[in-house]
Amino acid sequence: MQSQAVPTTPHSAEPDSPKLSARRWHQGSLTYTAGGLLALFVFLLIGDFAWSVKERAAIPVAQVLLKQMEASNLFVALVVGSLPWGLSMVLAPFIAVRSDRHRGRWGRRIPFLLAPTPLLMLGLIGMAFAPEGGAFLHGLLGSASPGLRTCKLAWFSLMWIAFEVGSVIANAVFGGLVADVVPSKLTGRFYGMFRAVSLMAGIIFTYQIVGQAERYYAEIFIGIALVYGLGFATMCWFVREGAYPPPPQTPEPRAGGSESEIRRYMRECFSHRFYVGVFLAMMLGLISFNPVNSFGVFYAKQIGLGLDGYGKALALTYTCSLLLALPIGWLADRLHPLRVGLGCILLYAAAMLPAGLLVQTAAQFQAAFVLHGVFSGLFVTGTAAIGQYLYPQERFAQFQSAANILAALGYTLVPPLVGAWLDLTGQNYRHTFLASGLLAAASALIFAWLLRPFNALGGTRNYQAPG
């Protein structure tokens, strides 16, 4: 917000009076008045709403469309579940490091957020016409065609790759933009607002639209593309980054320069066991939600709840999470995201393990699914700012990408393993609750272990990021 966020000079960094200080917030070289902070939040939340519509709508609609095209559980898990995270493992570290070191008139984050938007929109529009695109491929290949069904799935996969490449590039630096422009003391509460906006987008979609996905998938995909394009372009146009110090000097690479860069990246991100512990705890916590998220829509149809009932249950979880988003964000700022994350993942494990053993009816599934959504939402909101609290600020995107590498590894492995298991066991979707509970319990153990080194590094009041 260049009109509201003023670069801080040594003089302006020291307010002339307590009254002036109370009206201003600082982050790096940026100083915000109350009006500037409000404008910043509004435009960032516009971008987050567009992002949330894409994230919450694209996956369930893609799953429905793939089932219409007779895709197996394993194929759905590989393409929709594992492929995005495989791309993230390859692209995100490279993009994150380049973003941390980039200096330009538009900042170090905005160019990496805006550039992939057309590719992402192209992928969404291409998926809207997957059956027609598959038929075109089938006719183009003639006698060499592997079949109409295979061509439809191939077209969809190509469009999904384009969509996910755009998403991965933007996701690699979106959190970095927040870390660079939002005052650090407000980060937890800001992510609470992010979560609230995301949930409102989810409520609108799941309550009104998801039940129509089988019939109107093309219109939904095109609508997502338009909302995302307009929302993200608005955010990138109005949000302005501050001034950054020059990027740290890196040693000249020896023979095989790219390999030297990889070694430096690995040494900085993975040589300290505290960071590795944080990465592992977050990975296990996030992927613990994946088995239920990946196959919940199929479970709902199998057990008799149906797509409309599934959408209503999802909307209820979003409504509950919406009411809790701001309090959890405040609690994260007050107690620390590490402690809040431990409490939330324990609640999730305690709910999912019994569900994996006891759910037999549509009503029981609905209750367990709502608990899954609410407790997983608490964890996501409560730990959203964990990187801003724990990672080195000058290399934030780099460390976030390192965390995403481990998350990507988990997301790459878990969906196909669960999908293959379901195919082998006659699609007993109740096992998804059990798998989620076991992964959450493993995450809780690592979170509990992290408390000791966290306190040794200064704890809540005096934490210093290890070098």
Query: Where residue 277 falls among pLDDT bands split at 50, 70, 90?
Result: very high
Rounded to whole angstroms, the Cα distance separating 180 from 183 reads 8
Does 450 reside within a domain? yes
183 or 199, higher pLDDT: 183
Q: Which domain holds residue 325?
A: 26-243+268-462
Does 20 reside within a domain? no
Does 262 reside within a domain? no
The tens digit of pLDDT for each residue in 398-455 reads: 888 888 888 878 877 887 888 888 888 777 888 889 999 999 999 999 999 999 999 9
Domain count, the chain: 1
84 or 7, higher pLDDT: 84
Does 156 reside within a domain? yes
The tens digit of pLDDT for each residue in 29-69 reads: 888 888 888 899 899 989 888 888 888 788 888 888 888 88
pTM of the model: 0.67
Task: Write the CATH number for 205.
Answer: 1.20.1250.20
The tens digit of pLDDT for each residue in 322-332 reads: 888 888 888 88
| N-term to C-term CA, the chain | 32
3-class state of residue 6 by DSSP = strand
**Residue 168 · residue 92 · CB < 8 Å:** yes
The token pair that represents 280 in the structure block: 């592992």
Tally of helices (H runs) and strands (E runs) in the chain: 20, 3
Percent of the chain with pLDDT over 70: 91
CA dihedral for 212, 218, 221, 222, sign (positive or negative): negative
The tens digit of pLDDT for each residue in 106-158 reads: 888 899 999 999 999 999 999 999 989 989 888 888 888 888 888 999 999 99
**Closest CA relative to residue 80, chosen from 67, 93, 98, 92:** 67
Rounded to whole angstroms, the Cα distance separating 454 from 467 reads 14
Q: Any alpha helices (H) in 244-361, and if so which ranges? A: 257-270, 273-287, 290-303, 306-335, 337-358
Does 36 reside within a domain? yes
Does 252 reside within a domain? no
Does 11 reside within a domain? no
Determine how many CB atoms are found less than 10 A away from the CB of residue 452.
10
Does 17 reside within a domain? no
